[in-house]
Amino acid sequence: MASTPTITLQSVTGVDVELRIAGAGSRSYAFVIDWHIRLVLALAWLFTALFIRAGSLNLFDDSTPRGGMGQLAIWIPTTVIYFLYHPILEIVMRGSTPGKRMAGVRIVSRTGDIPGAGALLLRNVFRLVDSLPFVYLLGLGVVIFTEQHVRIGDLAAGTLLVHDDAGAVKSFDGLRNDTPENGLSPQSADLIHELLDRWWTLDDTMRANIARSLILRVDPAASTEALLLQTSPQLRSHLQALLKGTARA
């Protein structure tokens, strides 16, 4: 039996992180769950709007005043819920959806980070291509026959679908439910968390060098000369201050 394909990513501490790439089965399971959720939500709005509008379930009844506007108020939100379910939730949930969470998978970039909104939107635009000729046959075929199990939308957006293993994904997305209000990007804050978590397992020279490189990367006020004068405890305090948003030039 073929082994599950993986992607190996190198973190700031030099410790490799291995993510398992999700195959066609996991993708299909997540999609079926999401399809049912978005269908239920769309139908719930549709029938609720019909009752509010006219107390009727007649989908095309324009007998009430301003019937044309009433139809728009019913059908536009229904269409938005159904067709924009994936792009909106994947952006809000940072590469995930309810179906993906239940299936234990999530979307990441090829560097293991949370994909940007542009990549997620592009990925969903290509659903129109992946769904050809019907029921996602083209996209499913590409997933089965590509080494990293990607569909055309993933190829265009530079994304992968990986198993959401708690240990591996935490290294690159540990703040998905706790983004600090300190000016740091989630990726930068996550790298600092990772280094601080491993601080006492690294020798003094290594952790000091990594800390200086990381601070220069995320703190515009930092300078190489000033950091070279900081001891290991001072560097650690500097990183903690960045997480709290209290670092000073």
Q: Note the pLDDT of residue 171.
A: 39
Answer left, alpha or beta for residue 42, where phi above 0 means left and psi between -120 and 50 means alpha. alpha
**CA-to-CA distance for 105 and 28, rounded, in angstroms?**
11
Q: Note the pLDDT of residue 68.
A: 64
Question: How many whole angstroms from its chain centre is CA 186?
Answer: 11
Q: Note the pLDDT of residue 146.
A: 93
ω into residue 180 within 30 of 0, thus cis? no
Q: What's the token pair of residue 46? A: 């549709």
235, 211 Cβ separation under 8 angstroms: yes
Q: Note the pLDDT of residue 204.
A: 85
pLDDT tens-place string over residues 13-59: 555 667 889 999 999 999 999 999 999 999 999 888 888 876 655 55
Report phi then psi at 199, rounded to 5.
-50, -50
Give the position of tokens 């819920």. 81
Residues of the chain with pLDDT under 50: 1, 64-66, 166-181, 248-249
Which of 112, 215, 120, 119 is closest to 173 using CA atoms?
112
